[in-house]
Amino acid sequence: MSISLKRAGAIFVKDYKEFSRNYALSIMLIFPIILALLLRAAGAGSSLPGSFATVLNLSFVLLTCFAQACLIAEEKERNTLRSLMMTPATTMDVLIGKSTLVFVMSAVVLAIATYLFGYEPASIWAFVAAIIFSIILYTAVGTICGLFSKTLLDASLSIIPVTIVFSGAPWGAFLVDDYPIFKVLDYVPSSQLVHLLGISHTGFTTGDLLKPLLITLVWTVVLTIVSVVLYQRRLKDE
């Protein structure tokens, strides 16, 4: 399957304009920033390192995942995806164009949110890597949500289960004492992000950093492959 940067670029530009002018969707861009400001004002910033992880975990779902799902569902709703499939643009061109846009938007907005929150990671490289893996991971989840929804409305609703599973997982830790089964929630990437951000500035080893990163990376690789395979299969009959 051929991939053309020119075609992917055209899709990127088109989606950027569509997304930014549809205010019902683009309002989500300021959500992480507001959340960062709110939690900082609540004074949680210094006392609880997990609170910034909450900002990130919610933002990944409500911005990255939501935007990707909406971009795909909107094309399906208007039958433009079917029409795109008849141009030389391949399914991968479309996916790359959209994912790049979502990646850039998420990265910029989360950078602003981090700066405003005033969070200082123990290791900047581990932090950046975790953010990049997470954005790719949630983009893949968004792609899957988009593929299973027919309209924009479906897409906005489909991220609710994602919010519960991914953003809610770190809170599952409170239930572990009563129900040991919830221990599996510890392996969800959002819980791992909480651990990673919770590492204190002094006295950490590389092993402390690597474990959450590796678990997140496994999730990222698996979900990306699943989303690409599903995407190709479902678009065949579009």
Partner 1 sequence: MQFQPIYYDGELFLPKIELNMSCNQSIGIITDLKRKQLLMNQLLDRSQYHIFRAGQNEYMHLTVEELITFLINVTERNERAALLLDYFALKEERKVKIKNLSPSKRMYVTLLRVYFAHQPTLVLEEPYFYLEEQDRRQFKRILDDLSKEKQFLILTSNLEDAIISCDAIYRLNKLGFHQLDIRDSEEDKQEVQEQDRANITLQKIYTKRNDKVILFDPPEVDYIESIDGSILVHVGGENYVCALTLTELEQRLLNFGFFRCHRSYIVNLQKVREIITWTKNSYSLRLNTGKDAVVPLSRSKLHELKALLNI
Residues that bind partner 1 (CB under 8 A): 4, 6-7, 9-11, 13-14, 17-18, 21-22, 77-80, 82-89
* Minimum distance, C-beta of residue 80 to partner 1, in the bound complex (Å): 6
Six-digit token pair at 100?
């790049």
* Minimum distance, C-beta of residue 150 to partner 1, in the bound complex (Å): 13
Which residue is associated with the tokens 């002094």? 202
Of 9 and 45, CB closest to partner 1: 9
Residues 6+ apart with CB under 8 A from 37: 116, 117
* Minimum distance, C-beta of residue 78 to partner 1, in the bound complex (Å): 4
Of 95 and 135, CB closest to partner 1: 95
Calculated CA dihedral for residues 62, 9, 228, 64, nearest 10 degrees = -10
Of 67 and 213, CB closest to partner 1: 67
Of 18 and 154, CB closest to partner 1: 18
Task: Tell me the C-alpha distance between 177 and 10, whole Å.
Answer: 52
* Minimum distance, C-beta of residue 187 to partner 1, in the bound complex (Å): 40
Half-sphere exposure of 86 (CA within 13 A, CB side): 5
